[in-house]
Amino acid sequence: MGRAETDGFDAFYRDTSRRLLRYAYGLAGEAGEAQDLVQEAYARAWQHWRAVRGYENAEAWLRVVVTRLATDRWRKLGVRRAAAARARPPAEIPAPSEDTVVLVAALRTLPAAQRRALTLHYLLDRSLTEIAEETGSTVGTVKSWLHRGRLALAAALGDDVHDLVTGGSDAR
């Protein structure tokens, strides 16, 4: 890779990595795993940078990679996580809040599609249309995912969901 390509990748990384980490955190629910997902996704982007840089929405492509990595049921975590655990001083990552811990536990009970939709909606502020485009589904399906996801979260959290009752913010 030449200097210009490196600079271009670095700029892309600086512009998008924080959002991608937010997304990965929403899917993975764990800081170390989110970092690993993000690192792996960008490593793949760098590996194919000449193609990726030409994508209409390279950031969405990265989210797809993270989604795939996070939901690859055969992706064995053991060794990678063992290595990551040894490498990453826990002190560098602040402990999650109580809300986060509870929410992550509830999210883990959801099917991947619902979790993905909720993460895009709440953490990245994506509209129904944008989520539908990114997931290759319809707006109606996305609505269904969000609705059922909230119900499932309510059940897991043991109560009604406030923004479901009040209508939420799906109108975006």
Partner 1 sequence: MPVDLDRMFASLGTDADSVPVPDIASVRSRGNRRRAYQALSVTAAACVAVALVVGGVTALRRTLPVVDVMGGAGSGFAASGPVRFIPLRTVGAPLAFDEPLWFDVSAPGPGRPAAAVVDDRAVLTWQRTDGTVMMGAASLPSGQRLFGPVPVGRYDSWSVTVLSTGILVDGIRADGVPTDAVSRTISWLDRDNGTTRWQLDLPPAKVNVVLARSAIVVASLPQGDLRGIDWTTGQTLWTVTSTGPGRAALGMNTQFDLVPPDPGPAWRTPVLTTDSVVQVSANGVLRLYDARTGQQVGQRQGTGEEVAAFDGIVYSVVADPFRLLSYSVDNQQPVRVVYQAPAGTTFLRSPVPCGAGRICLIEDRTAGGLAVAVDLTTGDRRVLTSTIAGDTLQAVGDRVLLDGRGNGRPALLDPAGRDPMPLAPAGAPAYAARVGPTAVLSFAFAPGPSVPTGDELTDLWVYGIYPEDGSLRPLGKVIVQASGCSFDNRYLVCPTRTGLGIWQFAG
Residue 155 C-beta: closest distance to partner 1, Å = 10
What's 96's DSSP letter?
P
Residue 82 vs 129, nearer CB to partner 1: 82
Residue 28 C-beta: closest distance to partner 1, Å = 10
Radius of gyration of the chain (CA): 17
Question: Mapping DSSP to helix (H, G, I), strand (E, B) and coil, where does residue 89 land?
Answer: coil
**Rounded distance between C-alpha atoms, residue 23 and residue 41, angstroms:** 12
Residue 133 vs 144, nearer CB to partner 1: 133
**Rounded distance between C-alpha atoms, residue 88 and residue 170, angstroms:** 38
Residue 75 C-beta: closest distance to partner 1, Å = 4
Residue 143 C-beta: closest distance to partner 1, Å = 15
